Chains A and B, each alone.
Chain A
Amino acid sequence: MMKGWMSKFKAIFALVVLALVLSGCTGKPFLSALQPKGEGAEMIYDLMILSIIIMLVVFVVVMVIYTFVIVKYRQKKDDPDFMPKQTEGNHALETLWTVIPIILLLILAVPTVQYTFALADTSPELNEEGEEQDSLWVNITGAQYWWHFEYQDMEVSTSQELYIPVDRRVYLSMGSQDVIHSFWVPSIDGKMDVNPTGNTNEMTLLAKEEGVYWGKCAELCGPSHSIMDFKVIAVSPGEFEQWIKDMQGVTGEETPESATAQEGQQLFQDNCMTCHAIGSSPNKIGPNLTNFGDRIKLGGYLDYNKENLVEWIQTKGLGEDGNMKPGNQMTSAPYELSDEEAAKIAEYLMTLSPSGITPENAKDGVYKDSDLKSLFPKEEEETEGQGESQEDNKDEESSQGSDESSDGSNEGSSEENNDE
């Protein structure tokens, strides 16, 4: 709606933005609000640019007058007794600098109100015939210090990593189990508070490009507020359908390949199932581990490897120096495990990869090589060890997956055409 006149500014600002990119002021594409990859983030970015233009106009005017008066009206050395004229004011001038700001603010206020309403709109999308389409709703629960995602009417639950299809609006319904959190994926959309019972919030999320996007908690929620990270993994619609299908099939009783992992499974069932679920169980005392093997990060931000995982299990998420996730609520767990047993559980957990659709499928997204390394540090490991055990049960799925992903990339490129 605002696109028409917006596009005029865009050309001018392409240069400015390019300059900023070169100077490194726009951050990483998976995290920065300055490199919008989603519907909401793009709208907000437009608004940002508009407001910056207006504000820069004001700033330049102020600075020109400012510099002029300081240079021109310094006390003269040769005439220190110079007596300036004691002006009371000037009605014309005063009216001018009252009216012009009002006009400038109105220019900003109109799209502000429009966008505020547009971003708050969670009514179903309409198809070409004007009929309401089924909406994909995800219930999001924030807890100290992790995120739970439950796909409504689909019997799929997961934690920490939210899979969404690109170019489809995903509807979020958000609530907290404890204190106030705030759900923020800067490169896709603005943030929304995640309130305790009674103040459920709704918003939509639409990623325009495939990719793994970094999410942050934006409301102080305790010691580990700064590491309550999560990811949004945007894959093609076909891959997403596949992922949902694969996830629906999980019962938690699937027997892993290796003997150690099987022992680990038993230990897991004896010690961890009170809080953690595998499959679509509504249990969300602790994070749902259905596709734990596909996680990019451990605990939202740590390197995903067995060593860290064992330490996590043994220290109940706190880490040996207490700094893994300070204040982690896992501490109330009653289990007593030997290092060996913990290693077995870790082995088991790392095999949990029910779907061929993993964050890897989002890799054809938006990254530079250096960014990829930081996102996928476990890449090498997987090819060496743990990847083998999964190969068999993934075979058929991955063939489907790759079909879909080629669809996805087509859509992606058509989107780019639209943009230009």
Chain B
Amino acid sequence: MSATARKAGFGAALWDYLTTVDHKKIGILYLVAGIFFFILGGLEAMLIRIQLISPNNEFISAQFYNEVLTMHGTTMIFLAAMPLIFALMNAVVPLQIGARDVAFPFVNSLGFWLFFFGGVMLNVSWFVTGAPDAGWTAYAPLSIFSEGHGVDFYAIGLQISGFGTLMGGINFIVTVVNMRAPGMTYMRMPLFTWTAFIASVLILFAFPALTVGLFMLTFDRLFGANFFDPAMGGNAIIWEHLFWIFGHPEVYILILPAFGVFSEVIPTFAKKRLFGYSSMVFATVLIAFLGFMVWAHHMFTVGLGPIANSIFAVATMAIAVPTGIKIFNWLFTLWGGSIRLTSPMVFALGFIPTFTIGGMTGVMLASAAADFQYHDSYFVVAHFHYVIVGGVVLGLFAGIIYWWPKMFGTMLNEKLNHWFFWLFFIGFHLTFFIQHFLGLMGMPRRYWKFLPDQGLDLFNLISTIGAFFMAVGTIVFLYNVIITQVKGVKVSGDPWDARTLEWAIPSPPPFYNFKQEPLVRGLDPLWIEKTEGNGKIQPATPLGDIHMPNNSFVPFMMSLGLFIAGFGVMFQGTYWVLAVIGFGITAGSMLYRSFKDDLGYHVHKEDLEDEKGDGSNG
């Protein structure tokens, strides 16, 4: 009965989380780590905005500024947005498809610990020789020439956390394909599950390109390889291709699950089924597919020639079509509904105009010729913040607030959530809308300082003021989390009057999720039972023993091994011993795992009958 961790005490709880293979607990781990890194990345953003509050400002040095901007981007994408996406996927996807667990609980845990140690490694760089300073894109040869070990930390840290993400991705693909409850056909899957599934496919095919790129960067820097060194026949543009072959799908890896969140939140609070469900699914798949063939729109100014530029420009514009379909489907889900302005819904409603602007500037950027002006200017900065903050971050917060009761059994304070939204939303537009103009007025991105008398002073000041609004908003949210958890008022299994399967079980769910496998009779199964049945999901199978996986400390040790080995590879010399130790720990853990049979255990029928709750809503 290790999974339930009946033992009391902090030590026991800690050990439970270090060894857990329960997707719900892993979801919480992702959430905590993701929010931590989100705050860290936010502080870095504040440093950037304070530096740019006035012309010729010398608040921080040029070198430190480059480190801050690099770490801001890297942290926000890889260490905040990705894990928060995984937090929601872990917390929700198995429940939405009526599964008792994910396909690979062990791999799931390994994925988290690899991500976590990779993230820690990246941030250790602050204290050892300085953080990476070549931008989150780490374009060669700047990243090759960069002194110190900052970029090594970038390459090895991301490599480790990238492995974790890849494993998480495979886990969710197989979970969705193999673990669906009886009756949960593909076209009955909730949109969030669909988008998580497609995002996982994107992870699977996009991350290996980054893996290869990072290996080359590491080999160039640490082992004298010549991939990107022009003097030895290398070519710096290869890095750009590999990075963006990964990097562009990455954008969709982030935004698609956010779309999924909105596709859950909007129908719930409009009390209406999702308009055009099948075209939403189709649009998701199409966006993912097109997302793989547009990477070079990040490289219009590289000099690929007009033919390549035109092809990539038109392909990029094509993505606007399925995205537009989604926007209109959401609008028409609202049409004729009965809209409740709860806080997740307010985030969703804030998202629609914001993301529309982000999408529009996206199309403008897709126009290759015009991109010669936009590229690498603050226009681009504004664009991708509209997409990533206005799309992904609003989506993540909508999702976190929406599923908070399911994850923790408590309800965040609605009033504070509204305060959070308005501060964050107004601050966001103040910060970033104006940056479109800064870019067109001639301010390139990644500028440590801008000069006086160039007409850039006022807008930069406004932008910085907006950033403070966002910071205050985030503080309100954190305060809300703390007081909610301290009060600890429990809520029912279905506090939002929602539609999908996860709301049919108690909050938080028992560790085996569903006592009996649920029978799914259509899209929005809980809603169907509410309107056509007795409000309870019918079981598909009789009550029986439930097979559960054992907890394991191996994932933690495997990841720790790679973390230690990373330092050895980086510092070399006598530090090679660290690499030997680290790889030894990882290999030993793998052998241990493969030599010790892990058959899991069974929760017995008799025990289940004693447990409270009947596995359905109530």
**How many residues of A are in contact with the other chain, CB < 8 A?**
101
Closest 8 CB pairs of A and B: A190-B372, A27-B441, A374-B453, A115-B369, A223-B62, A31-B442, A226-B447, A55-B360
The main secondary structure of chain B at its interface with chain A is helix
Q: Which of A57-108 contact B (CB under 8 A)?
A: 58-59, 62-63, 65-66, 69-70, 73-76, 80, 82-90, 93-94, 97-98, 101-102, 105, 108
Report whether A199 and B373 are in contact in the complex, using a CB–CB cutoff of 8 Å: no
Q: Is A162 an interface residue (CB 8 A)?
A: no
**Chain B residues closer than 8 Å to A51, beta-carbon distance:** 363-364, 367, 370
Which listed segment binds A: B133-141, B409-417, B466-474? B133-141
Which listed segment binds B: A175-183, A248-256, A387-395? A175-183
Q: Is A315 an interface residue (CB 8 A)?
A: no
How distant is the Cα of A209 from the Cα of B277 in the complex, in angstroms?
Answer: 56
**Chain B residues closer than 8 Å to A43, beta-carbon distance:** 369
Report whether A69 and B142 are in contact in the complex, using a CB–CB cutoff of 8 Å: no
**How many residues of B are in contact with the other chain, CB < 8 A?**
93
Q: Closest chain B residue to A79 by CB distance?
A: B338
Q: Is A22 an interface residue (CB 8 A)?
A: no
Report whether B231 and A70 are in contact in the complex, using a CB–CB cutoff of 8 Å: no
**Chain A residues closer than 8 Å to B368, beta-carbon distance:** 112, 116
Q: Is B309 an interface residue (CB 8 A)?
A: yes
Q: Is A298 an interface residue (CB 8 A)?
A: no
**Chain B residues closer than 8 Å to A108, beta-carbon distance:** 317, 363, 367
Query: Nearest chain B CB to A410's CB is how many angstroms away?
Result: 29
Instruction: Mark each residue of chain B from 447 to 460: 1 if its CB lies under 8 Å from any CB of chain A, else 0.
Output: 11111111110100
Which listed segment binds B: A32-40, A305-313, A355-363, A398-406? A32-40
Contact partner of B279 among A65, A70, A94, CB < 8 A? A94
Q: Closest chain A residue to B237 by CB distance?
A: A199
Which listed segment binds A: B36-44, B319-327, B554-562? B319-327
How distant is the Cα of A227 from the Cα of B448 in the complex, in angstroms?
Answer: 8
How distant is the Cα of A222 from the Cα of B133 in the complex, in angstroms?
Answer: 8
Which listed segment binds B: A234-242, A265-273, A319-327? A319-327
Which listed segment binds A: B265-273, B477-485, B508-516? B265-273
Q: Is A412 an interface residue (CB 8 A)?
A: no
| A-B residue pair count with CB separations less than 8 angstroms | 311
Q: Is B186 an interface residue (CB 8 A)?
A: no
**Chain B residues closer than 8 Å to A116, beta-carbon distance:** 306, 309-310, 313, 368-369
Q: Is B340 an interface residue (CB 8 A)?
A: yes
Report whether B303 and A199 are in contact in the complex, using a CB–CB cutoff of 8 Å: yes
Q: Is B226 an interface residue (CB 8 A)?
A: no
Query: Nearest chain B CB to A340's CB is how many angstroms away?
Result: 29
> Contacts A48-B370, A88-B273: A70 and B363 contacting too (C-beta < 8 A)?
no
Q: Closest chain B residue to A23 by CB distance?
A: B437
Report whether A120 and B309 are in contact in the complex, using a CB–CB cutoff of 8 Å: yes
Q: List 16 A-B contacts (CB under 8 A).
A: A58-B324, A59-B360, A62-B352, A70-B349, A73-B339, A76-B338, A83-B338, A84-B270, A94-B328, A109-B313, A112-B317, A115-B370, A116-B368, A191-B301, A199-B302, A218-B444
Report whether A62 and B236 are in contact in the complex, using a CB–CB cutoff of 8 Å: no
How distant is the Cα of A85 from the Cα of B275 in the complex, in angstroms?
Answer: 11
Q: Is B289 an interface residue (CB 8 A)?
A: no
Which listed segment binds A: B245-253, B329-337, B487-495? B329-337
Query: Nearest chain A CB to B48's CB is how many angstroms away?
Result: 12
Residue among A59, A187, A218, A327 with the highest chain B CB neighbour number at 10 A: A218
Known: A76-B338, A88-B276. 20 other contacts (CB 8 A): A33-B373, A33-B440, A34-B441, A63-B356, A66-B331, A74-B338, A74-B341, A82-B271, A89-B278, A89-B329, A98-B321, A179-B141, A192-B301, A199-B235, A200-B303, A220-B66, A226-B444, A226-B450, A227-B449, A321-B58
Report whether A94 and B325 are in contact in the complex, using a CB–CB cutoff of 8 Å: yes
Q: Which of B57-98 contact A (CB under 8 A)?
A: 58, 61-63, 65-66
How distant is the Cα of A367 from the Cα of B161 in the complex, in angstroms?
Answer: 52
> Contacts A34-B441, A93-B332, A190-B373: A101 and B448 contacting too (C-beta < 8 A)?
no
Query: Nearest chain B CB to A283's CB is how many angstroms away?
Result: 19
Instruction: Mark each residue of chain A from 112 to 145: 1 if its CB lies under 8 Å from any CB of chain B, else 0.
Output: 1101111110000000000000000000000000
**Chain A residues closer than 8 Å to B272, beta-carbon distance:** 84-87
Q: Which of B191-239 contact A (CB under 8 A)?
A: 230-231, 235-237
Report whether B139 and A219 are in contact in the complex, using a CB–CB cutoff of 8 Å: yes
> Contacts A195-B237, A218-B376, A326-B63: A112 and B369 contacting too (C-beta < 8 A)?
yes
**Chain B residues closer than 8 Å to A184, beta-carbon distance:** 444
Contact partner of B331 among A34, A69, A89, CB < 8 A? A69
Q: Is A334 an interface residue (CB 8 A)?
A: no
Report whether A216 and B331 are in contact in the complex, using a CB–CB cutoff of 8 Å: no
Report whether B301 and A322 are in contact in the complex, using a CB–CB cutoff of 8 Å: no
**Chain A residues closer than 8 Å to B453, beta-carbon distance:** 28, 370-371, 373-374
Q: Is A286 an interface residue (CB 8 A)?
A: no
Query: Nearest chain B CB to A127's CB is how many angstroms away?
Result: 25
Report whether B338 and A180 are in contact in the complex, using a CB–CB cutoff of 8 Å: no
Q: Is B305 an interface residue (CB 8 A)?
A: yes
How distant is the Cα of A82 from the Cα of B134 in the complex, in angstroms?
Answer: 56
Query: Nearest chain A CB to B451's CB is how many angstroms away?
Result: 6
Q: Is A347 an interface residue (CB 8 A)?
A: no
> Contacts A51-B367, A105-B318, A105-B363: A70 and B440 contacting too (C-beta < 8 A)?
no
Query: Nearest chain B CB to A44's CB is how many angstroms away?
Result: 5
Instruction: Mark each residue of chain A from 221 to 237: 1 if its CB lies under 8 Å from any CB of chain B, else 0.
Output: 11111110100000000
User: Which A residues contact B (CB, under 8 angstroms)?
Assistant: 24-28, 31-34, 40-41, 43-44, 47-48, 51-52, 54-55, 58-59, 62-63, 65-66, 69-70, 73-76, 80, 82-90, 93-94, 97-98, 101-102, 105, 108-109, 112-113, 115-120, 178-180, 182, 184, 186-187, 189-193, 195-201, 214, 216-227, 229, 301, 321-323, 326-327, 370-371, 373-374
**Chain A residues closer than 8 Å to B279, beta-carbon distance:** 89, 94
Query: Nearest chain A CB to B606's CB is how many angstroms away?
Result: 41
> Contacts A26-B441, A32-B440, A87-B272: A105 and B303 contacting too (C-beta < 8 A)?
no
**Chain A residues closer than 8 Å to B364, beta-carbon distance:** 48, 51-52, 55
Report whether A47 and B303 are in contact in the complex, using a CB–CB cutoff of 8 Å: no
Q: Which of B359-416 contact A (CB under 8 A)?
A: 360-361, 363-364, 366-373, 375-377
How distant is the Cα of A376 from the Cα of B268 in the complex, in angstroms?
Answer: 63
Query: Nearest chain A CB to B1's CB is how many angstroms away?
Result: 43
Report whether A195 and B338 are in contact in the complex, using a CB–CB cutoff of 8 Å: no
Q: Closest chain A residue to B240 by CB distance?
A: A180
Report whether B331 and A119 are in contact in the complex, using a CB–CB cutoff of 8 Å: no
Q: Is B107 an interface residue (CB 8 A)?
A: no
Report whether A73 and B334 are in contact in the complex, using a CB–CB cutoff of 8 Å: yes
Residue among B139, B145, B441 with the highest chain A CB neighbour number at 10 A: B441
Q: Closest chain B residue to A301 by CB distance?
A: B451
Q: Closest chain B residue to A120 by CB distance?
A: B306
**Chain A residues closer than 8 Å to B452, beta-carbon distance:** 374
> Contacts A73-B270, A112-B369: A88 and B277 contacting too (C-beta < 8 A)?
yes
Residue among A83, A108, A374 with the highest chain B CB neighbour number at 10 A: A108
**Chain B residues closer than 8 Å to A74, beta-carbon distance:** 338-339, 341
Contact partner of A73 among B62, B335, B446, CB < 8 A? B335
**Chain B residues closer than 8 Å to A186, beta-carbon distance:** 373, 440-442
Report whether A41 and B321 are in contact in the complex, using a CB–CB cutoff of 8 Å: no
Query: Nearest chain A CB to B473's CB is how many angstroms away?
Result: 22
Report whether B448 and A178 are in contact in the complex, using a CB–CB cutoff of 8 Å: no
Q: Is B353 an interface residue (CB 8 A)?
A: yes
Contact partner of B377 among A48, A109, A218, A224, CB < 8 A? A218
Q: Is B314 an interface residue (CB 8 A)?
A: yes
Report whether A34 and B440 are in contact in the complex, using a CB–CB cutoff of 8 Å: yes
**Chain A residues closer than 8 Å to B448, beta-carbon distance:** 223-227
How distant is the Cα of A192 from the Cα of B453 in the complex, in angstroms?
Answer: 25
Q: Is B357 an interface residue (CB 8 A)?
A: yes
Query: Nearest chain A CB to B273's CB is how many angstroms away?
Result: 5
Query: Nearest chain B CB to A217's CB is how many angstroms away?
Result: 7
Report whether B141 and A180 are in contact in the complex, using a CB–CB cutoff of 8 Å: yes
Contact partner of B370 among A44, A86, A195, CB < 8 A? A44
> Contacts A40-B372, A48-B373, A179-B145: A75 and B339 contacting too (C-beta < 8 A)?
yes
